[in-house]
């Protein structure tokens, strides 16, 4: 049975408790590490110390996270909180896509990986029309040409390019 304080709470409820606990734990962890990650220097004013402003920020995070948790009208996670956390975790899927892309570019090359990932991500986002996938593949080629040829961005060639014959290998490393 909800208390009067819980009934009077204005704002979204789902995810609040989990966020408050996670934020307080994260800020306390960072505050606990500040001694090994920053230092005090001699003959430097207090406000110019490398540890001062990060310490102020982390202390503020910990205090305000604790106040947020203390002022919540409930002290338990519900199924709605867990649904919200699951929604937050969907971001990790796209971080995984990005990490796979970053890992595969030095192995397979910029153009082949981009030609696979752009349409694959479009497919994942729900664009399943053949015309849209072809547009995505064309976009991938344009991006590679723009970055490698016109802007001259130095992106390492794929390790698989080493098995190509001499002139083709040089072309692949420079432009693909």
Task: Select from 101, 111, 107, 96 the least CA-distant residue to 147.
Answer: 111
Give the Cα separation of 121 and 93 in Å (integer): 11
pLDDT at residue number 162: 81
Tens digit of each residue's pLDDT (9 = 90 or more) over 91-148? 899 999 999 999 999 999 888 999 999 999 999 999 999 999 999 999 999 998 898 8
Task: Select from 159, 121, 160, 156 the least CA-distant residue to 139.
Answer: 121
How much of the chain is helix, strand and coil, in % rounded to 5? 75, 0, 25
Task: State both tokens at 66.
Answer: 């604790």
Instruction: Spell out the long-range contacts of 72-80 with Cβ–Cβ below 8 A and sequence spacing 24 or more.
Output: 72/16, 72/17, 72/20, 73/3, 73/5, 73/6, 73/8, 73/9, 74/6, 74/13, 74/17, 75/17, 76/17, 77/17, 77/18, 78/14, 78/17, 80/13, 80/14, 80/15
pLDDT: which is higher, 42 or 115: 115
**DSSP state, 159?**
G
What pTM does this model have?
0.62
pLDDT at residue number 11: 66
């Amino acid at each position: 049975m909800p208390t009067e304080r819980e009934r009077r709470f204005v704002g979204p409820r789902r995810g609040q408790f989990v966020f408050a606990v996670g934020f307080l734990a994260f800020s306390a962890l960072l505050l606990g590490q500040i001694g090994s990650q920053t230092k005090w220097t001699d003959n430097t004013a207090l406000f110019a110390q490398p540890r001062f402003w990060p310490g102020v920020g982390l202390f503020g995070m910990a205090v305000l996270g604790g106040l947020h948790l203390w002022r919540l009208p409930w002290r338990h996670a519900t199924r709605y909180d867990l649904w919200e956390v699951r929604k937050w975790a969907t971001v990790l899927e796209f971080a995984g896509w990005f990490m796979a892309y970053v890992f595969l570019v030095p192995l397979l090359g910029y153009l082949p990986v981009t030609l696979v990932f752009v349409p694959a991500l479009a497919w994942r986002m729900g664009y399943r029309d053949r015309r849209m996938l072809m547009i995505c593949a064309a976009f991938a080629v344009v991006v590679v040409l723009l970055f490698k040829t016109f802007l001259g961005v130095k992106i390492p060639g794929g390790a698989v390019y080493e098995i190509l014959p001499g002139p083709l290998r040089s072309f692949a490393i420079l432009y693909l």
